[in-house]
Amino acid sequence: MLTAAEIQKTYAKALKHQNEKNYAEALKVYGTLLKSNPNIAEVHYQVGRVLCQTDEAQQALKHLHKAIELRPKETAVWQALAAAVALGGNRRTEEEFLSALKKAPIAMDIRIGLQDRFGARRASTWPVMGGIGTADVNRMIAAMDAGSHAEVERLASAAAKKFPKSAIVRNILGAAQMCQRKVREAEANFHAAIRLDPGYAEAHDNLGRLYMETERVEEATASFRAAITLAPGMFNALIALASAQTRLGHAAAALPLLERAIETNRTSPEPYRALGNALVRLRKYDEAEQAFQKAIDLWNGTVPGDLIALHATAQARAGKDDEALANLDRVLSVNPDSPIAVTGKAQLLQTLGRFDEARELFVRAFDLDPNNGENYRQYSALHKGKAGDPIIDKMKAKFDDPQLADTDRMNIGFAVGKLLEDTKDYPHVFKYLNEANALMRKAYPYDVSKRFRDVDLVKKAFDGFDWKSATLEGTTDFAPIFVTGMPRSGTTLIEQIISSHSTVTGAGEVGEAAGSAHKLVVLQGKSRHVSKVPKDDVTKLGFDFETYIRDRFPGSDRITDKSIQSYMSLGILKLAMPKSRFVVVRRDPRDNLLSIYKNKFPDDTHLYAYNQRDLGLYYGTFVDMIDFWRERVPDWFYEVQYEELVANPEEETRKLIAACGLEWEDACLSFHENKRKIETLSVFQARQPISKGSVQLWKQYEKDLQPMLDALREGGHVTD
């Protein structure tokens, strides 16, 4: 328990981090305070404010409710709760807030103002007119609607001199300038409108749109948040904020906003398009396909090609490759230069192993969408860099462009690092890798202590259980082969080998069973011992997974599931599916973690990957979990050492196939000829013959890897 003086000092430290927008550190320090004393209203209030600024408004609600419980008369807390409801609430949340607000012991005018936000004026706010007449304003608005932007600028400029305190005039002037690409002038006028009337939602919304057009996505997000906080029902702002959040990798935060937008206007296709994009980022591909289809169905007139291409991308991710290719070709037949369709087809062909066609399309995409860093990164996976390669210089120039968005610079950084390594220009690789990883860490802050807590919760749930004699009646006979281990350890290679067997289908990183198993024993941050899990829930886990796989891969005899986290719940997965097999892949951690550091993973996954010390610490938790299972059920899984496999491919492959309970087939040695779809970072490598080229590659970067190597040494995982 902290003393009063210690609490005050710690609070000041957290507030300093918050004011400097170092939100991850602020939340960490605030967490220390709440652990010491969970009833500090100011801390819950500040945590709620921070979570709203980091697109976690749904999480903010519980903290702000607690703050109100502790300090019901604090006006600022009610205002913060209103913002959280606007940003992360649904219709029920709004109704509960308004009901509580009626009895709030705060000033009447504040209460009415907050009620109005969610009432008749929920979609707009009245601007400060500053003396200008309605007729003059309507004249300028009519001219804007007619596209006479230069004329509106002339009229609004004159009006701004005559009515210097009119927020609406400044907003109209900024809008006219934005339409003419006069970015600096428009930005200045939107800011002027907001200074004259801080509660002017439309001005905040327009400023956000200007920021989006100039690739200042984080600033745009802040402006859209302000607009929605002031006018929770502003339709266009809801979609704009949701789209910006999706671009920043906060797609989950977009869902309640889009739910509200759809409730506001059920006949508009736009919220469904934005919903599809968010669901793709959340890897809910079947739902994304449905959302895009809804947008297409609602479209009035000719459906835009980019919407059809987005729909096709979701279809491809959902495994409907033929339909996806047909839709992409449909778009390209009308518009061969559609950036979304060209890139979408390139990415799909890449997963299908049609690399030459994919390369050509990526090169076209460079011209069609020259600042899209993801195209360069995906292309680099298929392209072997050579000394003097002009694409490397092109990427370097892009990387150094100060106008390039952080996301694009990050992607290009990974691409340049890969191509420089191809040319053996090792001394310059980490210049690009370090910045790319730093940009990822900036976009996705990560606290490795969360991993330690998660592992502790899992071990607590599984410890002290008699695994060897544990059996359940009525379980499925479904017998998947789980391939698990650290990412970049060789799991895709192993899956490719096994799925080259005539009776096995490679399902890739499915994730359904591993995720469901974890939820059975870790609930809302608390551990539930496996003995307390209802037996029917465990058997249901196996049958549900079988149904999911049968629907997605009809006619398959056996499948491989390469879900990385399967090792965490190995025991309960084996109970649910007694005939399942587990293959754990191990690799020299120095090469393994180097390979992780060289790559960008799908958003919101493997967030430990972008800091060398966190990588070393995280690896220790992997070893800890494997040791945990080895002590209890050593015969429930088979371990493959990557270095032994590449040194003795036939001998180790035969052992692997036998461990999977399969009869030997020579095709397993020709795994690189397997034509199955591959959607992991190893999409190219897994289609090549086994190579020793990456063994002990870490030695080329020993000085660059010191933070990671130090962490591995401290954990006893490597020795000098």
For the chain, the distance separating the N- and C-terminal CA atoms, rounded to the nearest angstrom, is: 42
Report pLDDT digits (tens) over 107-129.
Answer: 999 998 898 888 755 666 678 89
pLDDT at 123: 60
Share of the chain above pLDDT 90, in %: 74
Inform me whether the pLDDT recorded for 257 exceeds 70: yes
Every domain of the chain and the residues it spans: 4-117, 390-443, 449-714
Inform me whether the pLDDT recorded for 486 exceeds 70: yes
Angle between helices 235-247 and 251-264 (to 10 degrees): 160
pLDDT at 353: 83
Share of the chain above pLDDT 70, in %: 96
Residue pair 486/622 in contact by the 8 Å Cβ criterion? yes
pLDDT tier, 443 (very low <50, low <70, confident <90, very high otherwise) = confident
Q: Residue 206: enclosing H or E segment and its boundaries?
A: helix 201-213
pLDDT at 604: 76
Inform me whether the pLDDT recorded for 693 exceeds 90: no
Report pLDDT digits (tens) over 25-39.
Answer: 899 899 889 988 999
pLDDT at 678: 58
- Between 443 and 379, name the one with better pLDDT: 379
CATH architecture for segment(s) 449-714: 3-Layer(aba) Sandwich (3.40)
Query: Regarding beta strands 504-506 and 581-586, do their DSSP bridges make them parallel or antiparallel, or are they unpaired?
Result: unpaired
Report pLDDT digits (tens) over 398-411.
Answer: 999 998 888 899 99
- Rank 464-478, 596-610, 613-627 by mean pLDDT and report only the highest: 613-627
pLDDT tier, 195 (very low <50, low <70, confident <90, very high otherwise) = very high
pLDDT at 603: 78
3-class secondary structure per residue, 621-670: HHHHHHHHHHHHCHHHCEEEEHHHHHHCHHHHHHHHHHHCCCCCCHHHHH
Mean pLDDT throughout 17-24?
90
Six token digits for residue 332: 């390209």
Give 532's DSSP letter: G
Inform me whether the pLDDT recorded for 42 exceeds 70: yes
Inform me whether the pLDDT recorded for 269 exceeds 80: yes
> Cβ-count burial of 226 within 10 angstroms (0-12 exposed, 13-18 middle, 19+ buried)?
buried
For 181: left if phi > 0, alpha if psi spans -120 to 50, otherwise beta; the answer is: left
Mean pLDDT throughout 619-633?
96
Continuous H helices in 265-405 = 270-281, 285-298, 305-317, 321-334, 339-351, 355-368, 373-382, 390-399
pLDDT at 215: 83
- Could you tell me which residues come within 8 angstroms of residue 266 by beta carbon, excluding any fewer than 6 positions away? none
The count of other CB atoms within 10 Å of the CB of residue 82 is: 25
The torsion angles phi and psi of 265, rounded to 5 degrees, stand at -150, 95
Inform me whether the pLDDT recorded for 465 exceeds 90: yes
Please give the mean pLDDT across all residues of the chain.
Answer: 91
Domain 4-117 coded CATH 3.30.70.260? no
Inform me whether the pLDDT recorded for 366 exceeds 80: yes
Inform me whether the pLDDT recorded for 675 exceeds 90: no
Q: Which of 372, 374, 375 lies closest to 358, judged by CA?
A: 375
pLDDT tier, 90 (very low <50, low <70, confident <90, very high otherwise) = confident
- Between 1 and 278, name the one with better pLDDT: 278
Report pLDDT digits (tens) over 231-256.
Answer: 998 999 999 999 999 988 889 999 99
Q: Which of 135, 129, 226, 114 lies closest to 168, judged by CA?
A: 129
Mean pLDDT throughout 42-46?
93
- Between 106 and 720, name the one with better pLDDT: 106
Report pLDDT digits (tens) over 345-362.
Answer: 999 998 888 888 998 999
Mean pLDDT throughout 632-649?
94
How many residues appear in the chain? 720
Instruction: For residues 475 and 471, give the distance between their C-alpha atoms in angstroms, rounded to a whole number.
Output: 9
Mean pLDDT throughout 679-695?
63
pLDDT at 461: 95
pLDDT at 674: 64
Report pLDDT digits (tens) over 299-316.
Answer: 998 999 999 999 999 999
pLDDT tier, 91 (very low <50, low <70, confident <90, very high otherwise) = confident
Owner of token pair 């409710």: 65
Instruction: For residues 711 and 708, give the distance between their C-alpha atoms in angstroms, rounded to a whole number.
Output: 5
Using only C-alpha atoms, the chain has a radius of gyration, in whole angstroms, of 28
pLDDT tier, 221 (very low <50, low <70, confident <90, very high otherwise) = very high
pLDDT at 682: 52
Mean pLDDT throughout 468-494?
93
pLDDT at 719: 78
Mean pLDDT throughout 528-556?
93
Please tell me if the domain spanning 4-117 has the same topology as the one spanning 449-714. Answer: no
pLDDT at 382: 86
Mean pLDDT throughout 146-174?
95
Mean pLDDT throughout 663-674?
83
pTM of the predicted structure, to 2 decimals: 0.80
Inform me whether the pLDDT recorded for 477 exceeds 80: yes
pLDDT at 48: 94
